[in-house]
Structure 1
Amino acid sequence: MKLSDGIEQALHCATLMAALPEGGLLSAKAMAEFHDVSTSYLLKHLQALSKAGLLHTEPGPRGGYRLARAPDQITLLDVVLAVEGPEPAFRCKEIRQNGPNPLPASQFKAPCQINAAMLRAERAYRTELRAVTLADLLADLAAADDGTIAARGCAFFDQHMRRPKPDPNPTT
Protein backbone atom coordinates (compact mmCIF):
# COMPACT_ATOMS: atom_id res chain seq x y z
CA MET A 1 0.00 0.00 0.00
CA LYS A 2 1.29 3.42 -0.88
CA LEU A 3 0.04 6.49 0.94
CA SER A 4 0.43 10.00 -0.40
CA ASP A 5 3.16 12.35 0.77
CA GLY A 6 0.33 14.37 2.27
CA ILE A 7 -0.09 11.77 5.01
CA GLU A 8 3.47 12.22 6.21
CA GLN A 9 3.16 16.00 6.07
CA ALA A 10 -0.20 16.02 7.84
CA LEU A 11 1.03 13.69 10.59
CA HIS A 12 4.22 15.67 11.22
CA CYS A 13 2.36 18.99 11.25
CA ALA A 14 -0.36 17.64 13.54
CA THR A 15 2.30 16.33 15.91
CA LEU A 16 4.08 19.69 15.81
CA MET A 17 0.80 21.46 16.63
CA ALA A 18 0.19 18.96 19.45
CA ALA A 19 3.24 20.43 21.19
CA LEU A 20 2.04 24.04 20.86
CA PRO A 21 1.45 25.98 24.07
CA GLU A 22 -2.20 26.74 24.89
CA GLY A 23 -3.68 29.26 22.45
CA GLY A 24 -0.71 29.13 20.09
CA LEU A 25 -1.09 29.02 16.32
CA LEU A 26 1.23 28.13 13.47
CA SER A 27 0.96 29.36 9.91
CA ALA A 28 1.01 26.92 7.03
CA LYS A 29 4.03 28.76 5.65
CA ALA A 30 6.01 28.31 8.86
CA MET A 31 5.19 24.59 9.05
CA ALA A 32 6.06 24.14 5.37
CA GLU A 33 9.42 25.86 5.90
CA PHE A 34 10.09 23.79 9.03
CA HIS A 35 9.63 20.58 7.04
CA ASP A 36 10.96 21.95 3.73
CA VAL A 37 7.78 21.10 1.81
CA SER A 38 5.54 23.03 -0.55
CA THR A 39 3.25 25.47 1.25
CA SER A 40 0.49 25.09 -1.35
CA TYR A 41 0.58 21.28 -1.12
CA LEU A 42 0.60 21.41 2.68
CA LEU A 43 -2.32 23.86 2.69
CA LYS A 44 -4.44 21.30 0.83
CA HIS A 45 -3.87 18.80 3.63
CA LEU A 46 -4.32 21.31 6.44
CA GLN A 47 -7.66 22.24 4.89
CA ALA A 48 -8.65 18.56 4.86
CA LEU A 49 -7.71 18.27 8.55
CA SER A 50 -9.75 21.40 9.30
CA LYS A 51 -12.75 20.09 7.38
CA ALA A 52 -12.53 16.84 9.37
CA GLY A 53 -12.64 18.81 12.64
CA LEU A 54 -9.08 17.99 13.62
CA LEU A 55 -7.70 21.53 13.26
CA HIS A 56 -9.01 24.92 14.24
CA THR A 57 -8.26 27.62 11.69
CA GLU A 58 -7.85 31.21 12.80
CA PRO A 59 -8.14 33.57 9.80
CA GLY A 60 -6.26 36.79 9.31
CA PRO A 61 -2.67 38.01 9.31
CA ARG A 62 -2.12 36.79 12.88
CA GLY A 63 -4.01 33.59 12.23
CA GLY A 64 -2.91 30.05 11.67
CA TYR A 65 -3.70 26.52 12.75
CA ARG A 66 -3.93 24.61 16.02
CA LEU A 67 -5.47 21.33 17.01
CA ALA A 68 -9.24 21.39 17.50
CA ARG A 69 -9.07 18.53 20.02
CA ALA A 70 -6.63 17.40 22.65
CA PRO A 71 -3.67 15.37 21.30
CA ASP A 72 -4.93 12.28 23.12
CA GLN A 73 -8.20 12.58 21.20
CA ILE A 74 -6.66 12.53 17.70
CA THR A 75 -5.47 9.20 16.30
CA LEU A 76 -3.26 8.46 13.35
CA LEU A 77 -6.34 6.96 11.70
CA ASP A 78 -8.19 10.27 12.10
CA VAL A 79 -5.43 12.04 10.18
CA VAL A 80 -5.14 9.35 7.50
CA LEU A 81 -8.90 9.32 6.88
CA ALA A 82 -9.03 13.13 6.75
CA VAL A 83 -6.32 13.25 4.07
CA GLU A 84 -6.94 10.05 2.09
CA GLY A 85 -10.69 9.64 2.62
CA PRO A 86 -12.61 6.75 4.17
CA GLU A 87 -12.50 4.34 1.23
CA PRO A 88 -10.49 1.16 1.71
CA ALA A 89 -7.13 1.01 -0.04
CA PHE A 90 -8.24 -2.06 -2.04
CA ARG A 91 -11.43 -1.86 -4.04
CA CYS A 92 -12.52 -5.10 -5.66
CA LYS A 93 -13.85 -4.70 -9.21
CA GLU A 94 -14.92 -8.36 -9.47
CA ILE A 95 -12.62 -8.99 -12.43
CA ARG A 96 -13.03 -12.71 -11.79
CA GLN A 97 -16.32 -12.36 -13.66
CA ASN A 98 -14.64 -10.86 -16.76
CA GLY A 99 -12.97 -12.49 -19.71
CA PRO A 100 -14.03 -14.25 -22.89
CA ASN A 101 -15.65 -17.21 -21.09
CA PRO A 102 -16.92 -16.06 -17.68
CA LEU A 103 -18.62 -18.45 -15.31
CA PRO A 104 -22.33 -17.94 -14.63
CA ALA A 105 -23.28 -15.44 -11.90
CA SER A 106 -24.44 -18.36 -9.71
CA GLN A 107 -20.76 -19.26 -9.21
CA PHE A 108 -20.05 -15.92 -7.55
CA LYS A 109 -22.39 -15.92 -4.56
CA ALA A 110 -19.57 -15.87 -2.01
CA PRO A 111 -17.38 -12.77 -1.76
CA CYS A 112 -14.10 -12.91 -3.62
CA GLN A 113 -11.47 -14.50 -1.36
CA ILE A 114 -8.93 -11.90 -2.43
CA ASN A 115 -11.29 -9.06 -1.51
CA ALA A 116 -12.06 -10.72 1.85
CA ALA A 117 -8.34 -11.07 2.66
CA MET A 118 -7.62 -7.49 1.65
CA LEU A 119 -10.48 -6.19 3.80
CA ARG A 120 -9.16 -8.16 6.80
CA ALA A 121 -5.76 -6.53 6.26
CA GLU A 122 -7.41 -3.11 6.00
CA ARG A 123 -9.23 -3.67 9.30
CA ALA A 124 -5.96 -4.66 11.00
CA TYR A 125 -4.19 -1.61 9.55
CA ARG A 126 -6.94 0.71 10.72
CA THR A 127 -7.01 -0.91 14.16
CA GLU A 128 -3.29 -0.22 14.57
CA LEU A 129 -3.63 3.40 13.42
CA ARG A 130 -6.63 3.90 15.71
CA ALA A 131 -4.53 2.73 18.68
CA VAL A 132 -1.93 5.52 18.36
CA THR A 133 -2.71 9.13 19.27
CA LEU A 134 -0.74 12.31 18.74
CA ALA A 135 -0.14 12.32 22.50
CA ASP A 136 1.44 8.85 22.17
CA LEU A 137 3.78 10.16 19.47
CA LEU A 138 4.80 13.11 21.67
CA ALA A 139 5.44 10.77 24.61
CA ASP A 140 7.59 8.46 22.45
CA LEU A 141 9.51 11.44 21.13
CA ALA A 142 10.09 12.87 24.61
CA ALA A 143 11.32 9.49 25.87
CA ALA A 144 13.90 9.26 23.07
CA ASP A 145 14.97 12.93 23.09
CA ASP A 146 18.22 14.04 24.69
CA GLY A 147 16.91 17.61 24.63
CA THR A 148 17.99 18.39 21.08
CA ILE A 149 14.56 17.88 19.54
CA ALA A 150 12.81 19.83 22.30
CA ALA A 151 15.26 22.72 21.90
CA ARG A 152 14.66 22.77 18.13
CA GLY A 153 10.90 22.83 18.69
CA CYS A 154 11.10 25.59 21.31
CA ALA A 155 13.27 27.72 19.03
CA PHE A 156 10.79 27.21 16.21
CA PHE A 157 7.84 28.16 18.42
CA ASP A 158 9.67 31.24 19.72
CA GLN A 159 10.19 32.42 16.16
CA HIS A 160 6.91 31.36 14.51
CA MET A 161 4.15 30.87 17.04
CA ARG A 162 1.29 33.30 16.74
CA ARG A 163 -1.46 34.23 19.13
CA PRO A 164 -4.78 35.44 17.78
CA LYS A 165 -5.67 39.04 18.42
CA PRO A 166 -7.99 39.23 21.45
CA ASP A 167 -11.63 39.90 20.65
CA PRO A 168 -12.36 43.55 21.65
CA ASN A 169 -16.04 42.69 22.22
CA PRO A 170 -16.12 39.31 23.98
CA THR A 171 -19.52 37.81 24.58
CA THR A 172 -19.75 36.31 28.05
Structure 2
Amino acid sequence: MNEGVEWGVHSCLNLAWVGAESAVSSARLAEYYGLPPGYMNKQLQALARAGIVYSTPGPGGGFRLARAPAEITVMDVVAAIEGREPAFRCAEIRQRGPGADDVAPVDPCQVDQVMRRAELAWRAELARRTLADIKAAVEASSPEVPVRTRRWFAGP
Protein backbone atom coordinates (compact mmCIF):
# COMPACT_ATOMS: atom_id res chain seq x y z
CA MET A 1 0.00 0.00 0.00
CA ASN A 2 1.45 3.36 -0.92
CA GLU A 3 1.83 6.25 1.48
CA GLY A 4 -0.91 8.13 -0.36
CA VAL A 5 -3.43 6.17 1.74
CA GLU A 6 -1.87 7.48 4.95
CA TRP A 7 -1.82 11.00 3.53
CA GLY A 8 -5.45 10.66 2.47
CA VAL A 9 -6.68 9.47 5.86
CA HIS A 10 -4.73 12.18 7.72
CA SER A 11 -5.95 14.86 5.32
CA CYS A 12 -9.55 13.75 5.81
CA LEU A 13 -9.09 13.90 9.59
CA ASN A 14 -7.66 17.40 9.28
CA LEU A 15 -10.62 18.46 7.12
CA ALA A 16 -12.96 17.02 9.76
CA TRP A 17 -11.28 19.06 12.49
CA VAL A 18 -11.23 22.22 10.39
CA GLY A 19 -14.95 21.81 9.78
CA ALA A 20 -17.29 22.10 6.83
CA GLU A 21 -17.27 25.88 6.96
CA SER A 22 -13.65 26.14 5.83
CA ALA A 23 -12.00 24.80 2.68
CA VAL A 24 -8.31 23.89 2.80
CA SER A 25 -6.03 24.00 -0.23
CA SER A 26 -4.06 20.93 -1.25
CA ALA A 27 -0.87 22.99 -0.85
CA ARG A 28 -1.79 23.81 2.74
CA LEU A 29 -2.61 20.18 3.52
CA ALA A 30 0.72 19.12 2.00
CA GLU A 31 2.56 21.80 3.95
CA TYR A 32 1.11 20.55 7.24
CA TYR A 33 3.03 17.28 6.90
CA GLY A 34 5.89 18.53 4.74
CA LEU A 35 4.70 16.53 1.73
CA PRO A 36 5.04 17.25 -1.99
CA PRO A 37 2.09 19.49 -2.99
CA GLY A 38 1.63 17.88 -6.42
CA TYR A 39 1.45 14.39 -4.98
CA MET A 40 -0.93 15.50 -2.23
CA ASN A 41 -3.16 17.09 -4.85
CA LYS A 42 -3.19 13.78 -6.75
CA GLN A 43 -4.42 11.97 -3.62
CA LEU A 44 -7.07 14.62 -2.97
CA GLN A 45 -8.29 14.39 -6.58
CA ALA A 46 -8.67 10.62 -6.13
CA LEU A 47 -10.65 11.26 -2.94
CA ALA A 48 -12.80 13.78 -4.81
CA ARG A 49 -13.53 11.30 -7.63
CA ALA A 50 -14.67 8.84 -4.94
CA GLY A 51 -17.00 11.41 -3.36
CA ILE A 52 -15.05 11.59 -0.10
CA VAL A 53 -14.00 15.22 -0.48
CA TYR A 54 -15.06 17.97 -2.83
CA SER A 55 -13.23 21.03 -4.01
CA THR A 56 -14.37 24.60 -4.34
CA PRO A 57 -12.50 26.83 -6.80
CA GLY A 58 -11.31 30.38 -6.43
CA PRO A 59 -9.99 32.50 -3.57
CA GLY A 60 -10.75 30.80 -0.30
CA GLY A 61 -11.35 27.58 -2.19
CA GLY A 62 -9.91 24.20 -1.45
CA PHE A 63 -11.10 20.86 -0.16
CA ARG A 64 -13.81 19.89 2.31
CA LEU A 65 -15.25 16.55 3.36
CA ALA A 66 -18.16 15.58 1.13
CA ARG A 67 -19.78 13.46 3.84
CA ALA A 68 -19.81 13.27 7.61
CA PRO A 69 -16.80 11.44 9.11
CA ALA A 70 -19.14 8.70 10.36
CA GLU A 71 -20.11 8.02 6.73
CA ILE A 72 -16.54 7.62 5.45
CA THR A 73 -14.82 4.32 6.12
CA VAL A 74 -11.10 3.75 6.04
CA MET A 75 -11.81 1.27 3.24
CA ASP A 76 -13.43 4.09 1.25
CA VAL A 77 -10.15 6.01 1.45
CA VAL A 78 -8.03 2.96 0.64
CA ALA A 79 -10.19 2.13 -2.38
CA ALA A 80 -10.11 5.75 -3.59
CA ILE A 81 -6.31 5.91 -3.45
CA GLU A 82 -5.31 2.32 -4.27
CA GLY A 83 -8.27 1.19 -6.36
CA ARG A 84 -10.51 -1.80 -5.79
CA GLU A 85 -8.25 -4.40 -7.36
CA PRO A 86 -7.12 -7.24 -5.10
CA ALA A 87 -3.79 -6.65 -3.40
CA PHE A 88 -2.64 -10.17 -4.30
CA ARG A 89 -2.94 -11.61 -7.78
CA CYS A 90 -2.06 -15.27 -8.15
CA ALA A 91 0.20 -15.75 -11.17
CA GLU A 92 -0.02 -19.55 -10.91
CA ILE A 93 3.75 -19.91 -10.58
CA ARG A 94 3.11 -23.42 -9.25
CA GLN A 95 2.44 -24.32 -12.90
CA ARG A 96 6.11 -23.55 -13.73
CA GLY A 97 9.40 -25.22 -12.94
CA PRO A 98 10.23 -28.81 -12.11
CA GLY A 99 7.17 -29.32 -9.86
CA ALA A 100 4.64 -28.20 -12.50
CA ASP A 101 3.85 -31.78 -13.52
CA ASP A 102 2.72 -32.53 -9.94
CA VAL A 103 0.03 -29.82 -9.95
CA ALA A 104 -3.43 -30.41 -11.33
CA PRO A 105 -4.56 -27.12 -12.90
CA VAL A 106 -8.08 -27.60 -11.54
CA ASP A 107 -6.91 -27.68 -7.90
CA PRO A 108 -7.24 -24.27 -6.26
CA CYS A 109 -3.93 -22.67 -5.40
CA GLN A 110 -3.70 -22.83 -1.62
CA VAL A 111 -1.48 -19.74 -1.49
CA ASP A 112 -4.13 -17.82 -3.44
CA GLN A 113 -6.86 -19.11 -1.12
CA VAL A 114 -5.01 -17.99 2.02
CA MET A 115 -4.21 -14.59 0.54
CA ARG A 116 -7.82 -14.01 -0.54
CA ARG A 117 -9.18 -14.90 2.92
CA ALA A 118 -6.66 -12.58 4.56
CA GLU A 119 -7.52 -9.75 2.20
CA LEU A 120 -11.24 -10.19 2.80
CA ALA A 121 -10.66 -9.98 6.56
CA TRP A 122 -8.45 -6.89 6.11
CA ARG A 123 -11.01 -5.16 3.87
CA ALA A 124 -13.86 -6.02 6.23
CA GLU A 125 -11.99 -4.51 9.18
CA LEU A 126 -11.23 -1.31 7.25
CA ALA A 127 -14.87 -1.12 6.17
CA ARG A 128 -15.94 -1.29 9.84
CA ARG A 129 -13.73 1.65 10.85
CA THR A 130 -14.81 5.18 10.02
CA LEU A 131 -13.04 8.50 10.13
CA ALA A 132 -15.30 9.30 13.07
CA ASP A 133 -13.87 6.30 14.94
CA ILE A 134 -10.28 7.46 14.39
CA LYS A 135 -11.20 11.08 15.12
CA ALA A 136 -12.83 10.08 18.43
CA ALA A 137 -9.85 7.93 19.43
CA VAL A 138 -7.39 10.75 18.72
CA GLU A 139 -9.57 13.27 20.57
CA ALA A 140 -9.78 10.94 23.59
CA SER A 141 -6.06 10.25 23.75
CA SER A 142 -4.74 13.63 22.59
CA PRO A 143 -7.42 16.33 22.96
CA GLU A 144 -4.93 19.04 21.97
CA VAL A 145 -4.55 17.63 18.42
CA PRO A 146 -7.84 18.92 16.98
CA VAL A 147 -7.38 22.32 18.64
CA ARG A 148 -3.81 22.63 17.37
CA THR A 149 -4.87 21.45 13.91
CA ARG A 150 -7.71 23.98 13.63
CA ARG A 151 -5.42 26.75 14.83
CA TRP A 152 -2.68 25.86 12.33
CA PHE A 153 -5.06 25.73 9.36
CA ALA A 154 -6.69 29.01 10.42
CA GLY A 155 -3.29 30.75 10.27
CA PRO A 156 -1.59 32.25 7.23
Q: Shorter-chain-normalised TM-score: which range?
A: over 0.9
> How far apart, in 1, do the equivalents of 2:70 and 2:141 lie?
19
Stretches of structure 1 lacking an aligned partner (at least 5 in a row): 161-172
The one-letter amino acid of 1:114's match is: V
The one-letter amino acid of 1:123's match is: L
Deviations 1:33-69 (A, max 9, x none): 1111110111110011011111111122321001111
> How far apart, in 1, do the equivalents of 2:88 and 2:4 lie?
19
Stretches of structure 2 lacking an aligned partner (at least 5 in a row): none
- Partner residue of 2:138? 141
- Partner residue of 1:154? 150
SS state of the match for residue 57, structure 1?
Answer: strand
- Partner residue of 1:48? 46
> How far apart, in 2, do the equivalents of 1:108 and 1:39 lie?
48
Identity of aligned residues (%): 42
SS state of the match for residue 129, structure 1?
Answer: helix
> How far apart, in 2, do the equivalents of 1:100 and 1:127 lie?
38
> How far apart, in 2, do the equivalents of 1:142 and 1:95 lie?
47
In the TM superposition, what is the alpha-carbon distance from 1:153 to its structure 2 partner? 1.4
User: Superposed, which structure 2 residues align to 1:1-172 within 5 Å?
Assistant: 3-99=1-97, 102-103=100-101, 107-145=104-142, 147-159=143-155
> How far apart, in 1, do the equivalents of 2:20 and 2:52 lie?
16
TM-score (norm 2): 0.92
SS state of the match for residue 51, structure 2?
Answer: coil
- Partner residue of 1:169? none
In the TM superposition, what is the alpha-carbon distance from 1:150 to its structure 2 partner? 3.0
The RMSD of aligned alpha carbons is 1.7
> How far apart, in 1, do the equivalents of 2:4 and 2:99 lie?
42
In the TM superposition, what is the alpha-carbon distance from 1:110 to its structure 2 partner? 2.4
